[in-house]
């Protein structure tokens, strides 16, 4: 991974904040329009408290802001990393060749995997609408009670869909299929470049998804190098000789003190 300078880190941060801000404003605007429309259309929705309706608006804005900031961060990383940009282009060309030999079912599965979170959000909206339609038929419940029950049904369905997607991804990781694959590569620690090792790689759903993994690996590598440098400096012959001499002098002084006593 390319190590960023403080200026590049600041520019990266600014790009993420800008993307998140724009996404948050768009999400808040859409959420506000939806809440206002629902309040005018449904009397029971209009009966909800103002803080709860404000919570729904801010939830929509936060959801879109997080996704937009993540996408902006990944896009900045790609645009300012020529090697990664070239690798993504090569991967895109390989994917285009493989796409020609895939069936419609395989394409649909990959599309659903790549757009998992938007689909889950859409599923939650659809579940909320469907459960609201079902619960709204009960004349013995108030508007707030209907909304609470509809939300519970929608959250239960969304949680089930989320757990199913996690189970499928876990099965792919165990079998080395899907977005997880085990490949053979040269051992980077072998100076002769003859030793082959197996490495499990993760195919990104979108460019920059694994950026946090690369950042963690780079930080761990930097810490290892620093610790190795400290250990080497500590075990330097000159330092070791000085330490042994100091220990010897301390021991002799202690022996002399004991003899005087």
Both 171 and 215 in one domain: the answer is no
Residue with tokens 């099965």: 171
Q: What is the pLDDT of residues 25-83, one digit of tens each?
A: 999 999 999 999 988 888 877 888 888 889 989 999 999 999 999 999 888 888 887 77
Confidence of residue 137 (pLDDT cuts 50, 70, 90): confident
pLDDT of residue 28: 94
Both 173 and 239 in one domain: the answer is no
Rounded (5°) CA angle 141-145-149: 110
Show which of 159, 177, 195 is a domain's final residue.
Answer: 177
Structural domain span for residue 253: 210-260
The answer to whether 22 touches 28, Cβ cutoff 8 Å, is no
Show which of 136, 153, 177 is a domain's final residue.
Answer: 177
Q: What is the pLDDT of residues 195-238, one digit of tens each?
A: 777 766 666 655 555 666 677 777 888 888 888 777 776 665 55
Residue 32 lies inside a defined structural domain of this protein: yes
Distances (CA, A) of 102 to 7, 110, 115, 179, 206: 44, 10, 18, 16, 20
Q: Which helix (H) or strand (E) holds 62?
A: helix 50-79
Both 33 and 92 in one domain: the answer is yes
pLDDT of residue 67: 92
For residue 172, pLDDT beyond 70: no
What's the chain's length in residues? 261
The answer to whether 16 touches 211, Cβ cutoff 8 Å, is no
* DSSP string over 92-121: HHHHHHHHTT--HHHHHHHHHHHTHHHHHH
Residue 198 lies inside a defined structural domain of this protein: no
Q: Please state the pTM of the whole predicted model.
A: 0.42
Neighbours of 203 (CB within 10 A): 14
Torsion-angle region of 197 (φ positive above 0: left; ψ -120 to 50: alpha; else: beta): beta
Q: What is the mean pLDDT of residues 167-194?
A: 66
Residue 224 lies inside a defined structural domain of this protein: yes
Residue 199 lies inside a defined structural domain of this protein: no
Both 166 and 214 in one domain: the answer is no
Both 75 and 25 in one domain: the answer is yes
Q: Which tokens sit at 127?
A: 């579940």
Confidence of residue 250 (pLDDT cuts 50, 70, 90): confident
């Amino acid at each position: 991974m390319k190590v960023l300078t403080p200026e590049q880190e600041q520019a990266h941060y600014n790009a993420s904040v800008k993307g998140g801000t724009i996404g948050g404003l768009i999400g808040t605007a859409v959420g506000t329009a939806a809440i206002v429309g629902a309040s005018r259309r449904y009397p029971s929705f209009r009966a909800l408290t103002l803080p709860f309706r404000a919570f729904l608006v801010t939830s929509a804005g936060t959801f879109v802001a997080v996704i937009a900031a993540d996408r902006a961060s990944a896009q900045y990383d790609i645009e300012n990393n020529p090697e990664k940009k070239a690798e993504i282009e090569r991967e895109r060309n390989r994917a285009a060749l493989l796409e020609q030999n895939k069936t419609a079912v395989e394409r649909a599965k990959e599309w659903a995997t790549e757009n998992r979170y938007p689909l889950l959000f859409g599923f939650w909206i659809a579940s909320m609408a469907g459960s609201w339609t079902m619960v709204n038929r009960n004349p013995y419940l108030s508007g707030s009670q209907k909304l609470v029950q509809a939300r519970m049904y929608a959250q239960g369905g969304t949680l089930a869909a989320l757990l199913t997607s996690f189970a499928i991804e876990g099965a792919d990781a165990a079998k080395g299929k899907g977005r997880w694959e085990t490949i053979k590569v040269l051992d980077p620690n072998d100076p002769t470049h003859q030793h082959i090792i197996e490495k499990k790689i993760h195919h990104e759903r979108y460019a920059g998804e694994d950026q946090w993994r690369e950042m963690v690996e780079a930080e761990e590598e930097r810490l290892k190098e620093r610790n190795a440098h400290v250990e080497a400096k500590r075990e330097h012959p000159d330092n070791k000789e000085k330490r042994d001499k100091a220990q010897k002098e301390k021991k002799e002084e202690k022996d002399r003190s004991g003899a005087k006593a």
